[in-house]
């Protein structure tokens, strides 16, 4: 369940791999039928290209080359890892980039919820997967308590559904949403329209704080997530509410609650959050 901190950590790892701009000698498409079919022309479009930057937008990775931009989403179980070009691919390895110098970058995704697509250079803002995305949460000018407050008026859905809505703000998934609400002292079940401006400001700041803390630890490794170098993240040990139903709250020791909100398991403390 890679969210912003995990995707950003992977991005930084990939950036290092492409720092010396090794050329993609060849690309191999082993299995195209993931969530959305991987374009058949992608291998030949990538062949011979040099990746000059790896960027992140929301939970997407963008590999920039002169001829084409490669778009990748990790979905639930997607990962990029570096192997030797001569090593045989493993089960669930779907797309491979053979780099100059004998290494190969592998996109692996057991559950095939991920996305691999191509974008014509410069046209990313029109891409169907990107054009609807809201502001980056760490952009203090674009994502503010005031903007969240204004957008939340008259909404009766739980505020957590709103924080996880990528049109409102990107990069926040199920784990960091629960963690952000705990830090803000706000119930994730609360109707969005009932939040005060001050609460929206607290929620925005708490969201940023938890994302920054996770980023500093290399993200959270729950099941499959790994950094580009294969390392686990370290933030899963700092989750204070996520997946801790029935355990004592770290602040007041009350048994933590959980319930499904908008189809996602949600965790909170009924004493510390209002």
Partner DNA sequence: ATTTTCTCCTGCATGC
Partner DNA sequence: TGCATGCAGGAGAAAA
User: Out of 49, 174, 220, 273, which residue is the one contacting DNA (CB under 7 A)?
Assistant: 174
Q: Which residues between 215 and 254 bind DNA (CB under 7 A)?
A: 223
SS percent in the chain: helix, strand, coil, step 5: 25, 20, 50
In this structure, what DSSP letter does residue 197 have?
Answer: H
| C-alpha–C-alpha distance, residues 6 and 4, integer Å | 6
Do 2 and 219 contact (CB within 8 A), yes or no?
yes
Is 154 designated active site?
no
- How many of the chain's residues bind DNA (CB under 7 A)? 39
Shortest Å, Cβ 273 to DNA: 18
Please tell me which residue in 57, 59, 160, 183 is annotated as part of the active site: 59
**Residue of the chain from 111, 194, 212, 253 that contacts DNA (CB under 7 A):** 111
Q: Which two tokens stand for residue 53?
A: 């930057």
103, 191, 264, 270: the active-site residue: 264
List the one residue from 53, 144, 217, 265 that touches DNA (CB under 7 A). 265
User: In angstroms, rounded to a whole number, what is the distance separating the alpha carbons of residues 85 and 87?
Assistant: 6
73 touches DNA (CB under 7 A)? yes
Q: Does residue number 119 form part of the binding site for DNA (CB under 7 A)? A: no
Give the tokens for residue 148.
């969240």
Residues present in the chain in total:
274
Cα 52 versus chain centre, distance: 22
Q: Which spans of this chain sit near DNA (rule: CB under 7 A)?
A: 1-3, 33, 35, 58-60, 73, 75-77, 91-92, 110-113, 128-129, 132, 155-158, 161-162, 164, 166, 173-175, 192, 223, 260, 262-265
């Amino acid at each position: 369940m890679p969210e912003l901190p995990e995707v950003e950590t992977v991005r930084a790892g990939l950036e290092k791999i492409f720092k010396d701009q090794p050329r993609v000698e060849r690309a191999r498409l082993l299995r195209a039928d993931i969530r959305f079919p991987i374009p058949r022309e992608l291998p030949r479009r990538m062949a011979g290209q040099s990746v000059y930057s790896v960027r992140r937008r929301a939970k997407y990775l963008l590999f920039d080359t002169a001829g084409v931009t490669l778009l990748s989403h990790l979905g639930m179980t997607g990962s990029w890892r570096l192997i030797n070009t001569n090593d045989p691919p493993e089960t669930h390895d779907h797309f491979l980039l053979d780099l100059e110098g004998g290494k190969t970058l592998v996109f692996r995704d057991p559950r095939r919820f991920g996305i691999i697509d191509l974008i014509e250079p410069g046209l990313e803002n029109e891409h169907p997967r990107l054009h609807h995305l809201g502001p980056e949460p760490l952009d203090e000018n674009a994502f503010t308590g005031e903007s969240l407050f204004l957008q939340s008026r008259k909404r009766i859905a739980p505020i957590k559904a709103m924080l996880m809505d990528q049109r409102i703000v990107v990069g926040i998934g199920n784990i960091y949403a629960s963690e952000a609400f705990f830090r803000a002292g706000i119930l994730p079940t609360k109707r969005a329209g009932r939040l005060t401006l001050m609460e929206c400001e607290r929620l925005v700041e708490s969201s940023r704080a938890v994302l920054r803390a996770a980023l500093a630890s290399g993200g959270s490794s729950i099941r499959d997530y790994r950094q580009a170098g294969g390392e686990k993240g370290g933030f899963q040990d700092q989750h204070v509410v996520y997946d801790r139903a029935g355990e004592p709250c770290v602040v007041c020791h009350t048994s933590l609650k959980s319930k499904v909100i908008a189809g996602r398991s949600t965790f909170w403390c009924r004493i510390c959050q209002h």
